[in-house]
Structure 1
Amino acid sequence: MTAITAPAKVRRPRASLQLLRITLILHALLIIVQPIAAGYFLAGNVDAITTHSAIGGSVWMIAFVQIAVAACYTLAGGGRLWPLIASAVLMVAEFVQLTFGYLQNFAVHIPLGTAIVTAVLWMTVWSFRSTARLSRREAKR
């Protein structure tokens, strides 16, 4: 006689995924305002640089919070590892972006800003896809 065993319970990220989504939305909103403010500045509105600078000075701190939330998603929620790594890379990139912005090195500042906007928006969209709810085990299949 064969014993029937219940399948192992798979731990999926739920609350941690919701927190990650909220953090990513906030991050994305701040990141989207950056090129808009820079565009206003280039169009002649010199006060727009104040907004651009203030957001730039704080957006990397949002990335730091995102690292903590992504760690909860990965470790406590059983989610994938790559959002944690990507969040850490984003925080470093945003700090470098801030530095080159203050140095007015636009040859680095503009392409790096474009890459950051793309990465944050991509992560935000991914967080709402069904694959974000998968555990690490399920994602490997």
Structure 2
Amino acid sequence: MTATIDQPVKVRRPRATLQLLRITLVVHAVLVIAQPIAAGYFLAGNVDAMTDIHATVGGSVWMVAFLQTIVAACYTIAGRGRLWPTIASAVLVVAEFVQLTFGYLQNFAVHIPLGTAIVTAVVWMTVWSFRRTARLSRREAKR
């Protein structure tokens, strides 16, 4: 008889990819939070805030979402993290491009609620990325 010793299965967790995702999410969150602040300056009478800050950041924030989608895909594939951050990031790319379009069209009935949803989603994802559950692999998260 031979005795077998069960060795613990080494689970590969997202580490470096999670750090990159966190950095990207923080940058994204700062940019989307700056948007309503800049709009507030415009409404308070600072006309230059719209073109100098709001339009400039708005024109580039969807590109940050695109970069976030790539980083989230690395988190999912290479880091074996969850799939939903990649899907949510891809949805944010589309939402932010639509947001940019409706902003330039000055359709505020869509622009303002969509902006609120984008800020909420990005902040929520950023908070999630710093929680313990973000470090779990797909296999551990299913348990």
**Pairwise TM-score range, normalised by the shorter structure:** over 0.9
State the match for 1:64 in structure 2.
66
State the match for 1:128 in structure 2.
130
State the match for 1:14 in structure 2.
15
Give the whole-Å Cα distance in 2 for the aligned partners of 1:116 and 1:68.
18
What amino acid maps onto 2:86 in structure 1?
L
SS of residue in 2 equivalent to 1:113: helix
Q: 1:88 aligns with which of 87, 90, 93?
A: 90
What amino acid maps onto 1:49 in structure 2?
M
Gaps of 5+ in 1: none
Deviations 1:55-95 (A, max 9, x none): 00000000000011001100000100000000000010000
What amino acid maps onto 1:104 in structure 2?
Q
State the match for 1:44 in structure 2.
45
CA shift for structure 1 position 8 = 2.0
Question: TM-score if structure 2 supplies the norm length?
Answer: 0.97
Give the whole-Å Cα distance in 1 for the aligned partners of 2:10 and 2:77.
16
The answer as to 2:110 corresponding to 1:108 is: yes
Count of aligned pairs between the two proteins: 141
CA shift for structure 1 position 5 = 2.8
Give the whole-Å Cα distance in 2 for the aligned partners of 1:138 and 1:111.
36
Deviations 1:91-124 (A, max 9, x none): 1000000000000000000000000000000000
Give the whole-Å Cα distance in 1 for the aligned partners of 2:10 and 2:95.
38
Q: RMSD value over aligned CA atoms?
A: 0.8
Gaps of 5+ in 2: none
Question: TM-score if structure 1 supplies the norm length?
Answer: 0.98
What amino acid maps onto 1:40 in structure 2?
Y
